[in-house]
Amino acid sequence: MFAMKILFNAIRPALVICGTLLAVSESVWSIDYHVDSNPPYQEIGDVPWATISAGDRVFIHWRSSPYNEKWVINGVGTEQNPIEIIGVNGPQGQQPVIDGNGASTAPGVNFWNEPRGLIKIGGSNIPNNAIPQHIIIENLDIRSARPPFQFTNDSGGTETYSNNAASVYVEIGQHITIRNNTIHDSGNGIFVGANEGQTQDILIQNNYIYDNGIEGRFYEHNTYTAAIGIIYEGNRFGALRDGALGNNLKDRSAGLVVRYNWIEDGNRQLDLVDAEDSDVLVNHPSYATTHVYGNVLIESDGQGNSQMVHYGGDSGTTSDYRKGDLYFYNNTVISTRTGNTTLMRLSTNDETAHVFNNVYYGTATGSSQALIDDNGVMNIQHNWFKTNWSDCHCTPNGTINNLGNILTGSTPGFVDLNNQNFKSQNGGDLINQGMAIMPGLLPEHDLQKEYVKHQKTTNRLSSGVMDIGAYEYCDELSCDLIFIDGFD
């Protein structure tokens, strides 16, 4: 049966009367909408999206056929009472499917840039809030926003998605969470626009993002983001669509954090470049500092560019490049290329990478593995590299500063390389060989978790001296302690 739950929340604004501070209660009604097989909300478009407000929750229940619908979310929630769109799984754990191929725009809303996205946040005439806030999208399978697929727009006409359409398109928004979704078969899986710095505080967490991009094009990616303050955490990134030439995670943000993710394939795994169209981001205090830690990065043979990480810029306007510090630590970096692999491209000599506690392993000979492409400053310490690694497959213009404690060998001692178990076996080279996290990174960027296959994180064991790589070795007893703490 249809269920709609109305919740009563008390908000107590302060009033000053005759010099006395009094508490006065004010009523706020929150509504739970259940989209399922029962009236009155049998389709997503039956939900009154034009009037969604703080505390409202829309539960989209799984059904055997997909929801071929698209809509805009432009309400304003609060930290205590966010607006939530939540998928409810089917009997075998199936996520509800939101399919853009043949989708119809929900009635009662009017918004621009319809060809750009399937679920859009911000940018509408109806509703007409300037900046949507505190919105959570969770546990949906969101797919197929790309050409040649078409949709019915809010005027009843037929349109084709643009190449850069996204499963989730954030045109503008603040305090937005995209969590535990499956995002695939679109031009961009997730697109977040900076909107002159008005898009802020984005969390992309525990999603499976794969099979996006456009064949023969470099301009669409699994994710393409620009904001002030964005965190990627616990996500599984798979390969792009066959023939697509884009990157896996491409970002132009200020205050970027990429931690505890599994990122496999793409032209590059990470393409962290300049905020080419936003002076606000370029001039933001957090723009010049980027944190990448606790990730597993995998480069398979035949995957596009041989450089795995790019940091700096690509617009050609070098004054806008990041020109700052990339802190790259406790990552497990794997290449199965038969030819050369380069860990990092730094765009200019004004970019500096602090590279410590990483394992960088390739199945090809050690001489096929280089650290930089040409430019930049790289400070290395307490890393594991394959024997005969090189600074560059070139005569570099940049500088590598070896600060010591670089371990080398033929294999670092993974539990099972072929089955992608990159934890250390007992006696492996990585155990107790790391350094403490730099004090300037603490406490915000302490190494607290590690990735769990797939789309989960768990607490990282603290066992004294830190291990190299994304995983901390634990024997049976200490691993049990982690499992007691549970997963996120």
Q: Which among 116, 120, 192 is positioned nearest to 161, based on CA atoms?
A: 116
CA 381 to each of CA 217, 401, 412, 434: distance values in angstroms, whole numbers, following the listed order: 37, 9, 16, 9
The whole-model pTM stands at 0.93
CA 9 to each of CA 28, 54, 56, 67: distance values in angstroms, whole numbers, following the listed order: 5, 11, 12, 32
CA 443 to each of CA 162, 233, 394, 437, 448: distance values in angstroms, whole numbers, following the listed order: 42, 17, 38, 10, 10
pLDDT in tens, the chain (488 residues): 334 433 433 332 332 223 333 333 334 589 999 999 999 999 999 999 999 999 999 999 999 999 999 999 999 999 999 999 999 999 999 999 999 999 999 999 999 999 999 999 999 999 998 999 999 999 999 999 999 999 999 999 999 999 999 999 999 999 999 999 999 999 999 999 999 999 999 999 999 999 999 999 999 999 999 999 999 999 999 999 999 999 999 999 999 999 999 999 999 999 999 999 899 999 999 999 999 999 999 999 999 899 999 999 999 999 999 999 999 999 999 999 999 999 999 999 999 999 999 999 999 999 999 999 999 999 999 999 999 999 999 999 999 999 999 999 999 999 999 999 999 999 999 999 999 999 999 999 999 999 999 999 999 998 789 999 999 998 766 565 554 455 67
Contact 217, 224 (CB under 8 A): no
Q: What is the DSSP secondary structure assignment for residue 417, as one 8-state letter?
A: T
User: In angstroms, rounded to a whole number, what is the distance separating the alpha carbons of residues 277 and 122?
Assistant: 19
Q: CB count, 10 Å around CB of 372?
A: 26
Who contacts 61 (Cβ-Cβ below 8 Å, separation ≥6)? 34, 35, 36, 37, 88, 96
Choose the CATH number for 31-485 among 3.40.50.2000, 1.20.1440.230, 1.10.3470.10, 2.160.20.10.
2.160.20.10
Retrieve residue 399's tokens. 């500088």
Angle at 144 between CA 179 and CA 303, to 5 degrees: 80
Residue listed under structure tokens 């946040």: 121
